[in-house]
Structure 1
């Protein structure tokens, strides 16, 4: 996996040299690729009331030009350092092989709370841009709540099941913005994000948990109609954002290119007491499962 990341960085070295002296382009949010209506923003400060309303209606959005090739290289380098410690992190229940439940699947490697494990990730442009956009989309100051990275090897037959992120939460009706940032171009064959528009306005569905992966992102929504699903293929440097109750999925990686993605969640700021209680509940859940 680490060699694959090195090869990816090498292929992009030429582009990186060209853009290294340029200023970072402002983030542009665009759902025109997947829906007829369009919402575009040149920067977080330019996000319009109309585009925010459309995001709240659909429950998801594509963000174009969130970050730069140089910043993605920094993110990849920091995540690669964590993946070198994968077995150690598995023993500490901070990492999981999501493919271990499937006899016919290659490993799918997840690392939870990467910012806690590697604080320099919080200094990246990707992290700062996501935080700023979350404040605009939610209309209030936010804090970092959670993040994780998922690596899908080439020709991997396993999907990340349809689910709602809220099903993992210890409380209900959480209000947060969840970003998905691939470190390479992603097509549907590679396992891009897919969403059910408007699903965040419905009830939290019934989910099935894989018993051997109780701390991992391995829930599956039961009895779902996916006929209205909207795939969101995007380029490296782009991202998607969705609400905790928005139903979503990423398919198998059927290509010869590894797929690495970083997911970040931001929600309204909480008091120290509430943060400590949430941390205690998380530790309790990890210890008792």
Structure 2
């Protein structure tokens, strides 16, 4: 890859995305997720994937063989806030193009960073159990979402993310951490409530966005290479830190360091990535 190609890839990160339908915000509010094509070019993915992968390898702390891990451990290797460790990863995580999509889907004037997270599902890696992300987030509203950006083509055999359409409006199951228990209970809920379980392959450059309370899961990786994904969690720039409702939320406050309950998490590690604070 030439220096010119790398520079072009970097510049795309701050060019507005033109692929949103006029109904995208309403569709996202109704369904709780959206799968978008061509969010980034294959060239941009190729420019950033090697760095992200090398940082995951360097920072990963999970060294048990797959057979010795629990269900969650078999789902993927995960490393959080890679942007703090590598300036090139920071370019991708801080992309105004990606943050702009998030703001438009949420219908807010601005979004700030909660944290990033790399999720690498190894070959023969297991399922990702049904769960809702916002169980872990001590935030005052549901105006928050995650982008799920695969770093390779992701056919069905590699376990792309799947969503229960409309489940973000259903309150049962919001007290369940990701586990065998959440897999069993939410799988039953999805069937009983007749939520459509939507799964599609991802072309290189595709990405999905899902709300914090949307139930989602993924199949195992039956491929021969890791399913490499970088995620970024965005929140309404005016959201506030909420009183934790479980121990996981108490621990997750570490991603908003130095904040107090009721404060906007306006910290150096939670910058506004698109738009500005309301006056």
Q: Same fold (TM over 0.5)?
A: yes
Q: 1:110 aligns with which of 75, 78, 90?
A: 78
* Structure 1 residue 252: Cα displacement: 0.4
Q: Distance in 1 between matches of 2:155 and 2:171?
A: 30
Equivalences for 1:101-250 in 2 at 5 Å?
101-102=69-70, 108-124=76-92, 127-139=95-107, 140-156=109-125, 158-171=126-139, 173-203=141-171, 205=173, 206-208=175-177, 220-221=182-183, 223-224=185-186, 225=188, 226-227=190-191, 228-250=196-218
- Match of residue 39 from structure 2: 66
2:134 is paired with a residue whose SS is helix
Seen in structure 2, the aligned counterparts of structure 1 residues 98 and 192 have a Cα distance that, compared at 3 Å, is farther
Q: 1:219-270 deviations in whole A, cap 9, x for unaligned?
A: 8355123443111211111001110001001110011232100111111114
Structure-1-length-normalised TM-score: 0.68
- Match of residue 283 from structure 1: 254
Q: Distance in 1 between matches of 2:169 and 2:124?
A: 35
Q: 1:155-186 deviations in whole A, cap 9, x for unaligned?
A: 33x11111001111123543112110001111
- Match of residue 33 from structure 1: none
Structure-2-length-normalised TM-score: 0.71
Q: Distance in 2 between matches of 1:236 and 1:274?
A: 35
Q: What RMSD in Å do the two structures reach over aligned CA positions?
A: 4.0
Given the alignment of the two structures, is residue 78 of structure 1 paired with residue 51 of structure 2, yes or no? yes
Q: Distance in 1 between matches of 2:65 and 2:170?
A: 28
Seen in structure 2, the aligned counterparts of structure 1 residues 57 and 25 have a Cα distance that, compared at 3 Å, is farther
- Runs of 4+, deviation exceeding 6 Å: 19-27, 95-98, 277-281
Q: 1:6-58 deviations in whole A, cap 9, x for unaligned?
A: xxxxxxx7xx99x889889999xxxxxxxxxxxxxxx6467444221111101
CA contact (8 A) 2:156 2:201 kept: yes
Structure 2 spans left out of the alignment, 5+ residues: 258-279
CA contact (8 A) 1:176 1:268 kept: yes
* Structure 1 residue 189: Cα displacement: 1.3
State the aligned residue count: 241
Structure 1 spans left out of the alignment, 5+ residues: 1-12, 28-42, 211-217
Q: Distance in 1 between matches of 2:181 and 2:64?
A: 14
CA contact (8 A) 1:147 1:264 kept: yes
Q: Distance in 2 between matches of 1:171 and 1:83?
A: 27
